[in-house]
Homo-oligomer: A and B are copies of this chain.
Amino acid sequence: MKAPILIIGAGLVGSLWAVLLAKRGYQVQVFELRDDPRKAGFACGRSINLAMSHRGWKAVAKAGIEQQIQEQAIPMYGRLMHDTKGGLTHQPYGKEGQAIYSVSRGGLNIELINIADQHPNVSFHFGQKCLNVDLDSTTALFESRHNGQQRQVKAERIFGTDGAFSSVRRSLMKTPRFNYSQSFLSYGYKELHIPPKSDGSHALDKNALHIWPRGQFMMIALPNPDGSFTGTLFLPYEGGSSAFEQLNSDEAILRFFQDQFPDSLQVIPNILEEFHENPTSSLVTIRCSPWRYQDKALIIGDASHAIVPFYGQGMNAGFEDCTILDEMIDTFEGDWGKIFEAFNSSRIKDANAIADLALRNFIEMRDKVADPDFLLRKAIAADLHERHPQFLPLYSQVTFSHIPYSEALQQGLAQDQLFEDILRLPGIHENWKSNPEVDQLFKAWLSKQPSSTAMA
């Protein structure tokens, strides 16, 4: 039996990481602030559904629960845009058959905790508030939320998987020259429940991610297995006529939805109740470095790189952290000093890239998906990929590949230049199919790309 490891935070990343370490024979203790979700259930009302894609699936497969999750996951093959008259436009995410999958955060978390808990070398401790982490002695102090009792836990190594407001990171912040930034959008979000129809079926097309793009703001909806949808309204906190601060009366709320999302009122019967009862939550991007303290502590997932939800990559990125670390255990034969150093020096740029991509995608979702030029670019990109498989559109690199995020971002910027030229071709909206000029521009562009990154 190897030396004991302490994981602080039993969310998605923490419980997955416990599984992977347990499989390798490490002794693992997991401490979590909240109560056991298997008994207490999951708090609702402020969690955007998860969209599992390639990077997430790989990690779930490593944990051995791919099949259980697949049974609950709902494939979304593309975006379905709702205009202010209720008209619909569809835009596929990838090739035919490719999809991102709507999964329930709570269900996935419980599966992962169950799998981890089956290992005799893993123990879970719920309702334990982390008061302090002493990095040098790898000792953490916890207080029970139920009886106030405090206990010191000494570990060989500490992993902080305790989310955007990580207490392990708070200890790292006290070390010299720790770089840190927290940056909030001026937007908030509010969950709005779309119940099943009376026959139990979904009230909207269940195999799509629904978007009501309105330029400066938007609403989205993702399907749940019980026939419902989780809708989410993203709106500026203040400023202009469409902002949370303006929606300060029932009349204003109803008028806003009638003007902006009239078709949604048919599927959200109790909009006022939903609006008033669900909190308005903020959207933060957190970046920091270093992520490790010597070979003693490492923060992963949201604790080291919280991002906005618009690329559907928050959980996927955290799970990929686990995949990469797990592979590094082999590469460096369990030498944690080397593992932490390699992970810290290679992964931070990828975390920064997906943070940037997620911020970019907010503009894409709320504004560009309603733009004919944008939809045309997506169609031409898909067509190019079909005919030249080595060309992989940015969205597919992020969502349907394991290409490092930082390379995908670089590729995306290069692709922007290509499509700027293509969309300038005369009559392109009508003549893009089998247009030899498109191919010419593509080949000229491709010849200028570094060969290693142009290929996917």
Chain A positions near chain B (C-beta within 8 angstroms): 176-184, 186, 237, 282, 284
* Contact between B184 and A177, CB atoms less than 8 A apart: yes
* Contact between B179 and A182, CB atoms less than 8 A apart: yes
* Contact between B176 and A183, CB atoms less than 8 A apart: no
> Which of the residues B179, B186, B237 comes within 8 Å of A184, measured between beta carbons?
B179
12 contacts between A and B (CB under 8 A): A176-B282, A177-B237, A177-B282, A178-B182, A179-B181, A179-B182, A179-B183, A179-B184, A180-B180, A180-B181, A180-B182, A181-B182
Kindly provide the distance from the CB of A308 to the nearest chain B CB, expressed in whole angstroms: 13
A208 CA to B102 CA, complexed, in Å = 66
A183 CA to B179 CA, complexed, in Å = 5
3 A-B pairs with least C-beta separation: A181-B181, A177-B184, A179-B183
> Which of the residues B177, B183, B186, B237 comes within 8 Å of A181, measured between beta carbons?
B183
**Which B residues touch A181, using CB under 8 A?**
179-183
A182 CA to B176 CA, complexed, in Å = 12
Kindly provide the distance from the CB of A293 to the nearest chain B CB, expressed in whole angstroms: 15
Kindly provide the distance from the CB of A356 to the nearest chain B CB, expressed in whole angstroms: 15
Kindly provide the distance from the CB of A133 to the nearest chain B CB, expressed in whole angstroms: 19
Copies held by the complex: 2
Chain B, residue nearest A180 (CB): B182
**Which B residues touch A178, using CB under 8 A?**
182, 184
**Which B residues touch A184, using CB under 8 A?**
177-179
A181 CA to B180 CA, complexed, in Å = 5
A184 CA to B282 CA, complexed, in Å = 27
Kindly provide the distance from the CB of A120 to the nearest chain B CB, expressed in whole angstroms: 42
Kindly provide the distance from the CB of A244 to the nearest chain B CB, expressed in whole angstroms: 12
**Which B residues touch A176, using CB under 8 A?**
282
A179 CA to B284 CA, complexed, in Å = 9
A21 CA to B333 CA, complexed, in Å = 65
Chain B, residue nearest A181 (CB): B181
A176 CA to B177 CA, complexed, in Å = 25
Chain B, residue nearest A183 (CB): B179
Kindly provide the distance from the CB of A296 to the nearest chain B CB, expressed in whole angstroms: 19
Chain B, residue nearest A287 (CB): B181
Chain B, residue nearest A188 (CB): B177
A179 CA to B183 CA, complexed, in Å = 5
A182 CA to B179 CA, complexed, in Å = 6
Chain B, residue nearest A237 (CB): B177
**Which B residues touch A180, using CB under 8 A?**
180-182
A71 CA to B207 CA, complexed, in Å = 78
Chain B, residue nearest A282 (CB): B177
A184 CA to B237 CA, complexed, in Å = 32
A282 CA to B178 CA, complexed, in Å = 11
Kindly provide the distance from the CB of A285 to the nearest chain B CB, expressed in whole angstroms: 10
Interface centre among A177, A183, A284 (most CB of B within 10 A): A177
Kindly provide the distance from the CB of A300 to the nearest chain B CB, expressed in whole angstroms: 21
**Which B residues touch A284, using CB under 8 A?**
177
Chain B, residue nearest A187 (CB): B177
**Which B residues touch A183, using CB under 8 A?**
179, 181
Interface centre among A183, A282, A284 (most CB of B within 10 A): A183
Kindly provide the distance from the CB of A288 to the nearest chain B CB, expressed in whole angstroms: 9
**Which B residues touch A179, using CB under 8 A?**
181-184
Kindly provide the distance from the CB of A344 to the nearest chain B CB, expressed in whole angstroms: 14
A182 CA to B282 CA, complexed, in Å = 21
A181 CA to B181 CA, complexed, in Å = 4
A284 CA to B178 CA, complexed, in Å = 10
A184 CA to B181 CA, complexed, in Å = 12
**Which B residues touch A177, using CB under 8 A?**
184, 186, 237, 282, 284
**Which B residues touch A237, using CB under 8 A?**
177
Chain B, residue nearest A179 (CB): B183
A340 CA to B408 CA, complexed, in Å = 42
**Which B residues touch A186, using CB under 8 A?**
177
Kindly provide the distance from the CB of A260 to the nearest chain B CB, expressed in whole angstroms: 24
Kindly provide the distance from the CB of A173 to the nearest chain B CB, expressed in whole angstroms: 9
* Given A177-B282, A180-B180, A181-B182, 13 more pairs with CB closer than 8 A: A177-B184, A177-B186, A177-B237, A177-B284, A178-B182, A178-B184, A179-B182, A179-B183, A179-B184, A180-B181, A180-B182, A181-B181, A181-B183
A182 CA to B172 CA, complexed, in Å = 13
